[in-house]
Amino acid sequence: MGFQQRSLFTNEDFELYCNLVNFCPDHIQVLTKVKFTEFITPTEEYGTDEFYKLFMALSKETAPFVLYDAKSKKVSAVIELQNDGRSFASDETVTWLKFSEIEFVSLADLASLYTDEVLSDVLGKS
């Protein structure tokens, strides 16, 4: 049995990460590849079938990039870099984020980082 390291980022993802780190104010931390269950939990009663069902669905999702506001101690946005115009996020995923008051930013390309209005609003509120 053997193991080897693998790259945490694609070249484009690494470029986005570096740009986000430089772009964000000091109190905004850029986190990568965070399971949804680390920052969202169902509001259904713990231990019920509905809670378990929703928790299991959440546990299958990973946010590519998360903006964590150290002042409010909350996630302010989930960011993705689209792959050939395709989003990782299903309608259900976007709904979970919306109900949790977390912005979803889907960037078509790296240049969009500097022109996306939702991201500008998120960083402006921070």
Answer whether residue 52 is part of any domain.
yes
pLDDT of residue 25: 93
- For residue 90, what are the domain limits? 11-125
Answer whether residue 67 is part of any domain.
yes
Answer whether residue 1 is part of any domain.
no
The model's pLDDT over 33-66, given as tens digits with 9 standing for 90+, comes to 999 999 999 999 999 999 999 999 999 999 999 9
Q: What pTM does this model have?
A: 0.89
Please check the confidence at residue 30 and state whether its pLDDT lies above 90: yes
Candidates 23, 21, 54, 22; CA nearest to 37 is: 54
The model's pLDDT over 62-117, given as tens digits with 9 standing for 90+, comes to 999 999 999 999 999 999 998 877 788 888 999 999 999 999 999 999 888 888 88
Domain count, the chain: 1
Answer whether residue 6 is part of any domain.
no
